C-alpha cells in the first residue's frame, strides 16, 4: 500500500480502522522525501524526529481509546513563510536564512489543536515574490510531472510536495495566485479563501491587503477539511472577519443542479493554450450535464488587473520589507561603519534580484510626485475591478475560468523576462484584488503530459459553494488523481 499517495480522508479511515499507524505513515513520507526530494527540492527543511514524536503521541492516544479530530496523524508540509515555533522560517531568503520562529502562526496553532503532523517547510519564491519558485535563494523546485519544468509559484514547494507524494497536504499563501497557479502546474487542488476568512497572524507579510493562507491537497474533500480547521476569526489579526465557518465537508455532495455559471469573456481570448482551453471546456460541459446553466459574462476591467496588481502589491511589499534591516534579526553585515552602511550592506547581501526589483517599484510608486499618478490611481481601478465581480455575481452564482493561460513552462525560459513571468498570473490576480475565494481543480493534461487546471471563483465567503461545485466536477472526472 502506497500510504504517501492516499488522500487525508483515506488515510484517516485507515487510522480509525487501526490498519495503519501514524508512525507508519510518517515513516513512509520520509522514505519518499529521501528518494525524491533530492531532485525535486520541494522542501527547505524537514524535522523527522519531531514529526515521529508527534505521530507516536497520536498513536498512543488512539490506542487508549481517545476520540481524535479529523486531521490527527495527518502529515502536512508548511510553506516556509508561515511561522512554526522552534523551526526556521526563511521565506527562501538569505536575509532570514538562520531565523528560528519563536511562535506559531495562528493556522499552525489550529492545526496543532487538530493533532496534525508537520513534516517540514517547503520552498517558495523569495518572500513569495514570483510565479515559478525560481527566485528562491536556495534553488528551484522542479515539477513532479516533468523535472525540466517549473512547479509554479510562489507556493511551488507545497504544490510539488503534494503532487509527488511527499506530504498528504500542504499550506501555501496566495497574494496574486500563489496557491492556485502552482496547483494548476502540478495537478493538485489549491484553494485561496476569501480575504479575512483565515488569519494571517504568523504569515510573513508580502502585501497585507492581498495575502491569504490556504490548502493544497489531492482532493476537494481534503481542501474542505483543512479549510474548516484553519478558518475563523482571530483577535491577533485585525483583518480576520467575524463570519460563521460552515461545515465545509458536510456540504460537498449537495447537487449543483440549478447553479448559474458565468464564463468571463475576457479570460478566453488570444494566448490561451489549446490544452488549457480544452480542459476548461470539458469542465463546463460537465457542469451543464449536471444541471447548471452557463452564460457569458463580462469583467470589463480585467485588462488592467496585472498593471494594478504590480503597482499595489510592490507598494505594500516595500513597506512590509522595511523591517528587515539587519538590526533586530536576520542577516547582519559587520562591515558597516554607520547605521546607513549597516542597512544598505545587510539588505544588499540578504535580498535577491526579484525582491530588490519589487522594493524599488513599490518605493517609486509611493514616492512624492508619483503617489497620485500611480498608487492612488491603481486603488481606484482596484475598486472598479471589485465592482465588476459584484455586478457579475448578481447574474451568476460562480465563475469558471482557466487558472493559468498555459501549463508549466521550462525552467529558465522566463526568468530573465520579468513582464512575461508576471503575465503567468493574468487569470489569478483579479481574485486577490477583489478579495474573493478561488479554487484550482485539475481537469486534464496537455499533449506533453503537463497538468492544466480550471479555476472556480465565487462571491465573498462562498467557499462552501465553490467547494461543492469543485467536488461535483472532481467526481465526474473520475475522482481525486484521475486527471
- Residues designated as active site: 79, 154, 178
User: Which DSSP string do the residues of 414-453 spell out, in sequence order?
Assistant: STT-HHHHHGGGTTTHHHHHHT--EEEEEEEE-TTS-EEE
Q: How far apart are CA 400 and CA 457, in angstroms?
A: 6
Pick from 440, 415, 445, 446: nearest CA to 428: 440
What per-residue string of b and e applies to 162-171 under the rule 16 or more CB within 10 Å gives b?
Answer: bbbbbbbbbb
What are the Cα distances from residue 466, in Å, to 202, 261, 275, 436, 461? 26, 11, 23, 11, 10
Compute the distance between CA of residue 193 and CA of residue 195 in angstroms, rounded to an integer: 6
Instruction: Judge contact between 453 and 279, C-beta under 8 A.
Output: yes
Listed in order, strand segments (DSSP E) in 189-259 are: 189-192, 212-217
Of 158, 161, 155, 156, give the one whose Cα is nearest residue 175. 155
**What are the beta bridge partners of residue 263?**
296
> Where are the extended beta strands (E) located within 99-187?
117-122, 142-143, 146-150, 169-174
Torsion of CA 70, 222, 175, 281, to 10 degrees: -160
Q: In whole angstroms, how far apart are CA 250 and each of 31, 388, 444, 476?
A: 34, 31, 27, 19
Is 176 in contact with 210 (CB distance < 8 Å)?
yes
Distance, CA of 123 to CA of 126 (rounded, Å): 9
Question: Do 379 and 313 contact (CB within 8 A), yes or no?
Answer: no
Q: How far is CA 277 from CA 441, 444, 453, in A?
A: 14, 10, 10
Residue with cell 493554450: 273
Q: Please tell me the distance from the alpha carbon of residue 116 to that of residue 112, in angstroms, as a whole number.
A: 6
Amino acid at each position: 500500500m502506497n500510504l504517501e499517495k492516499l488522500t487525508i480522508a483515506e488515510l484517516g479511515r485507515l487510522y480509525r480502522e487501526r490498519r495503519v499507524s501514524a508512525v507508519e505513515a510518517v515513516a513512509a513520507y520520509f522514505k519518499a522525501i529521501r528518494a525524491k526530494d533530492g531532485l525535486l527540492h520541494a522542501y527547505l527543511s524537514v524535522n523527522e524526529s519531531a514529526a515521529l514524536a508527534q505521530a507516536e503521541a497520536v498513536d498512543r492516544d488512539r490506542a487508549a481509546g481517545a476520540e481524535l479530530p479529523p486531521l490527527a496523524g495527518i502529515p502536512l508540509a508548511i510553506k516556509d513563510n508561515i511561522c512554526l515555533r522552534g523551526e526556521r522560517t526563511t521565506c527562501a531568503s538569505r536575509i532570514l536564512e538562520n531565523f528560528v520562529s519563536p511562535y506559531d502562526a495562528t493556522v499552525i496553532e489550529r492545526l496543532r489543536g487538530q493533532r496534525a503532523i508537520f513534516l517540514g517547510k517547503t520552498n517558495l519564491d523569495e518572500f513569495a515574490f514570483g510565479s515559478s519558485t525560481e527566485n528562491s535563494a536556495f534553488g528551484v523546485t522542479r515539477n513532479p510531472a516533468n523535472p525540466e519544468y517549473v512547479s509554479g509559484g510562489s507556493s511551488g514547494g507545497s504544490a510539488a510536495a503534494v503532487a509527488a507524494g511527499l506530504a498528504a497536504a500542504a499550506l501555501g499563501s496566495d497574494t496574486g495566485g500563489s496557491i492556485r497557479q502552482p496547483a494548476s502546474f502540478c495537478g493538485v487542488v489549491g484553494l485561496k479563501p476569501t480575504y479575512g476568512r483565515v488569519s494571517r497572524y504568523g504569515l510573513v507579510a508580502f502585501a497585507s491587503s492581498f495575502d491569504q493562507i490556504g490548502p493544497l491537497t489531492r482532493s476537494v474533500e481534503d481542501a474542505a477539511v483543512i479549510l474548516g480547521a484553519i478558518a475563523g476569526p482571530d483577535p491577533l489579526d485585525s483583518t480576520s472577519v467575524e463570519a460563521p465557518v460552515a461545515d465545509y465537508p458536510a456540504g460537498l455532495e449537495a447537487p449543483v443542479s440549478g447553479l448559474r455559471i458565468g464564463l468571463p469573456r475576457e479570460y478566453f481570448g488570444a494566448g490561451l493554450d489549446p490544452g488549457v482551453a480544452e480542459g476548461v471546456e470539458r469542465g463546463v460541459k460537465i457542469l451543464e450535464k449536471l444541471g447548471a446553466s452557463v452564460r457569458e459574462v463580462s469583467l470589463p476591467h480585467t485588462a488592467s488587473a496585472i498593471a494594478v496588481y504590480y503597482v499595489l502589491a510592490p507598494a505594500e511589499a516595500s513597506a512590509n520589507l522595511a523591517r528587515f534591516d539587519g538590526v533586530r534579526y536576520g542577516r547582519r553585515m559587520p562591515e558597516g561603519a554607520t547605521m546607513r552602511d549597516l542597512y544598505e550592506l545587510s539588505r544588499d547581501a540578504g535580498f535577491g534580484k526579484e525582491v530588490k526589483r519589487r522594493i524599488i517599484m513599490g518605493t517609486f510608486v509611493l514616492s512624492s510626485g508619483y503617489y497620485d499618478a500611480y498608487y492612488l490611481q491603481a486603488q481606484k481601478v482596484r475598486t472598479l475591478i471589485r465592482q465588476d465581480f459584484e455586478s457579475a455575481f448578481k447574474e451568476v452564482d460562480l465563475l469558471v475560468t482557466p487558472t493559468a493561460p498555459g501549463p508549466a513552462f521550462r525552467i529558465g525560459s522566463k526568468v530573465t523576462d520579468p513582464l512575461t513571468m508576471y503575465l503567468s498570473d493574468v487569470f489569478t490576480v483579479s481574485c486577490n484584488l477583489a478579495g474573493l475565494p478561488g479554487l484550482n481543480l485539475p481537469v486534464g493534461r496537455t499533449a506533453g503530459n503537463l497538468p492544466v487546471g480550471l479555476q472556480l471563483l465565487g462571491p465573498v465567503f462562498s467557499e462552501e459553494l465553490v467547494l461543492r461545485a469543485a467536488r461535483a466536477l472532481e467526481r465526474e472526472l473520475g475522482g481525486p488523481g484521475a486527471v
